[in-house]
């Protein structure tokens, strides 16, 4: 351990004294406060805060990612190319200890820098409203929508498999299937039918109602508000663009048995424009003691159109599940996980490539990782077509790609969404314990068996 630590300390010294880290540190120290002054967003205080958090954290993350790649690659390749490795590797230290020492050094450096810069961003975010003469209402709004960590619950997709199977069989029997879908393969037809059925369950005809049930709604504080966030879609455009809805929110099980209400049922009649996100604020008291909550919607006859809640984002319950601070810390940890992954990637690349090639290799992986959603989707499409072999070979590798865009902390912090511990655990498991560890083991194997005195050209 003493040897690993000695190498780690040396790596940190190298990063700092060779001015690699210093450039990035100075850049961030200048840019972050400057951003605090210049980021205005849509002009409102909330917009300012959101823009700053978004730019500040993205910038910190990007620059530290680049720094990590450069330092982890440089610390190994420079030892080999400038041959300090001759004196180090011939000391009583195993090669894996040497590489682990480098990793520890890079990670410790990252922890320090992430803490420093996230601290600066946090400080600016917390103190920024103090510089503005914000009204009570604005402050309340940013408290509810920004300085919060709201969990979002979406209703589970209804199980429509049986109905779909029945429909499919009926259509096939009557020969309508080939008529309606002349070219599609059976799986795709099933998928289409499933979507259609599910959408049916989210549609309310004139005078009809819909009820969604949620379990485990656990707000941080029972005295606060929860929010029903929804978006209407319609079959026929209403003349004034508004939909009238009658909402009932609470523990509907009480109604069924005619008991006295233990928790209130919150009624709300409102008119909202179509295809726009709206939020209903409801006191958290309506949630039953066991975390149960039902949301009912009645499509009042005045609308004269079927109202549809779109499948992916038609309805959601939002409630403050944690404080902004702890959410911010978890966001910072997401960045750190990303850096640990990149450090392992850098070490792997440096274990068999020369400096410029290794850097290029890491950058390609990094940028692919930041658009992983797009990459994965395109491969999904490939595997759906005839390219089965392709998807089993390259596809397996693609799944090893890091998904930086999916676990981007700003995507959570800007709308004040909760980064759940479970999500953090999942990222830790996937990105650090599986992907990064795999890279590290590969790096250790390659580094242990390569000829260190052989210069890679």
Distance CA 30, CA 344 (A): 29
DSSP state of 131: G
User: Residue 62, interface with other proteins (CB under 8 A)?
Assistant: no
Check: CB of residue 76 under 8 Å from CB of residue 345.
Answer: no
User: Residue 22, interface with other proteins (CB under 8 A)?
Assistant: no
Distance CA 308, CA 275 (A): 10
- Shortest distance, position 7 Cβ to other proteins, whole Å: 8
Q: Of the candidates 31, 59, 66, 88, which one interacts with other proteins according to CB under 8 A?
A: 88
Check: CB of residue 446 under 8 Å from CB of residue 348.
Answer: yes
User: Residue 86, interface with other proteins (CB under 8 A)?
Assistant: yes
Bridge partners for 271 per DSSP: 244
Check: CB of residue 122 under 8 Å from CB of residue 328.
Answer: yes
Alpha helices, H only, 146-265: 161-174, 176-180, 186-201, 253-256
Q: Of the candidates 66, 93, 134, 234, which one interacts with other proteins according to CB under 8 A?
A: 93
Nearer to other proteins, 257 or 449 (CB): 449
Q: Of the candidates 42, 90, 239, 397, which one interacts with other proteins according to CB under 8 A?
A: 90
User: Residue 456, interface with other proteins (CB under 8 A)?
Assistant: no
Burial of 366 (C-beta count, 10 Å sphere; 0-12/13-18/19+): buried
Check: CB of residue 67 under 8 Å from CB of residue 21.
Answer: yes
Spell out a b/e string for 209-227, using b for 16 or more CB atoms within 10 Å of the CB, else e.
ebebebeebebbeeebbbb
Check: CB of residue 235 under 8 Å from CB of residue 219.
Answer: no
Nearer to other proteins, 23 or 433 (CB): 23
Restricted to residues 2-21, the positions that interact with other proteins (CB under 8 A) are 2-3, 5-7, 10, 13-14, 17-18
Nearer to other proteins, 20 or 375 (CB): 20
- Shortest distance, position 70 Cβ to other proteins, whole Å: 16
Stretch that binds other proteins, among 84-92, 247-255, 288-296, 347-355 (CB under 8 A): 84-92
Nearer to other proteins, 204 or 456 (CB): 456
Nearer to other proteins, 94 or 426 (CB): 94
User: Residue 108, interface with other proteins (CB under 8 A)?
Assistant: no
Q: Of the candidates 42, 43, 91, 386, which one interacts with other proteins according to CB under 8 A?
A: 91
At 303, list the tokens: 């609308």
Nearer to other proteins, 274 or 456 (CB): 456
User: Residue 199, interface with other proteins (CB under 8 A)?
Assistant: no
Phi/psi zone of residue 436: left (φ > 0), alpha (ψ -120 to 50 degrees), beta? alpha
Q: Of the candidates 27, 400, 453, 455, which one interacts with other proteins according to CB under 8 A?
A: 453
- Shortest distance, position 440 Cβ to other proteins, whole Å: 21
At 157, list the tokens: 């997709």
Report how many residues bind other proteins under the rule CB under 8 A: 27
Alpha helices, H only, 387-456: 388-399, 409-413, 421-427, 437-449
DSSP state of 43: S
Nearer to other proteins, 285 or 450 (CB): 450
Check: CB of residue 111 under 8 Å from CB of residue 64.
Answer: no
User: Residue 94, interface with other proteins (CB under 8 A)?
Assistant: yes
- Shortest distance, position 105 Cβ to other proteins, whole Å: 12
Which is it for strands 203-204 and 315-322: parallel, antiparallel or unpaired? unpaired
Q: Of the candidates 42, 87, 301, 312, which one interacts with other proteins according to CB under 8 A?
A: 87
Distance CA 245, CA 300 (A): 6
Stretch that binds other proteins, among 80-88, 150-158, 372-380, 435-443 (CB under 8 A): 80-88
Nearer to other proteins, 82 or 174 (CB): 82
* Residues within the interface to other proteins (CB under 8 A): 2-3, 5-7, 10, 13-14, 17-18, 82-94, 451-454
């Amino acid at each position: 351990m003493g040897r690993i630590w000695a190498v780690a300390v040396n790596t940190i010294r190298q990063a700092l004294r060779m001015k690699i880290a210093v450039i990035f540190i100075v850049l961030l120290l200048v840019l972050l406060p400057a951003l605090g002054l210049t980021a205005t967003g849509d002009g409102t205080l909330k917009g300012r805060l959101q823009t700053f958090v978004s730019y500040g954290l993205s910038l910190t993350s990007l620059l530290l990612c680049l720094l990590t790649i450069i330092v982890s690659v440089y610390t190994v390749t420079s030892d080999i190319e400038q041959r300090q490795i001759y004196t180090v590797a011939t000391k009583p230290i195993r090669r894996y200890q040497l590489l682990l020492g480098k990793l520890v050094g890079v990670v410790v450096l990252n922890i320090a820098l992430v803490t420093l810069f996230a601290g600066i961003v946090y400080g600016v975010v917390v103190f920024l409203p103090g510089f503005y003469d914000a009204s009570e209402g604005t402050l309340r709004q940013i408290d509810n929508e920004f300085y919060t960590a709201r969990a979002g619950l979406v209703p589970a997709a209804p199980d429509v498999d049986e109905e779909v199977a029945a429909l499919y069989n009926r259509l096939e029997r009557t020969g309508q299937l080939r008529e309606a879908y002349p070219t599609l393969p059976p799986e795709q037809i099933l998928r289409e039918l499933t979507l259609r059925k599910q959408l049916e369950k989210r549609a309310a005809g004139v005078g009809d109602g819909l009820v969604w049930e949620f379990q485990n709604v656990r707000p941080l504080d029972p005295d606060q508000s929860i929010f029903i966030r929804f978006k209407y879609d319609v079959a026929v455009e209403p003349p004034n663009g508004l939909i009238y809805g009658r909402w009932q929110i609470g523990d509907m099980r009480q109604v069924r048995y005619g008991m006295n209400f233990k928790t209130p049922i919150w009624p709300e009649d409102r008119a909202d424009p179509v295809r726009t996100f709206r939020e209903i604020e409801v006191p958290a008291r309506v949630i039953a003691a066991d975390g149960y909550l039902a949301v009912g919607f009645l499509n009042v006859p005045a609308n004269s159109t079927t109202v549809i809640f779109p499948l992916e984002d038609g309805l959601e319950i939002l409630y403050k599940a944690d404080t902004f601070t702890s959410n911010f810390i978890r966001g910072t940890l997401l960045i750190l996980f990303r850096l640990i992954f990149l450090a392992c990637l850098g070490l792997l690349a440096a274990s068999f490539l020369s400096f410029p090639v290794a850097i290029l290799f890491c950058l390609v992986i990094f940028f692919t990782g930041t658009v992983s959603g797009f990459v994965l989707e395109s491969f999904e499409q490939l595997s759906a077509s005839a390219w089965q072999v392709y998807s089993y070979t390259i596809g397996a590798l693609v799944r090893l790609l890091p998904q930086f865009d999916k676990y981007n902390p700003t995507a959570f912090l800007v709308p004040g969404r909760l980064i759940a511990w479970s999500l953090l655990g999942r990222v830790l498991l996937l990105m650090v314990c599986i992907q990064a560890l795999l890279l590290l083991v590969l790096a250790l194997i390659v580094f242990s068996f390569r000829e260190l005195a052989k210069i890679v050209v």
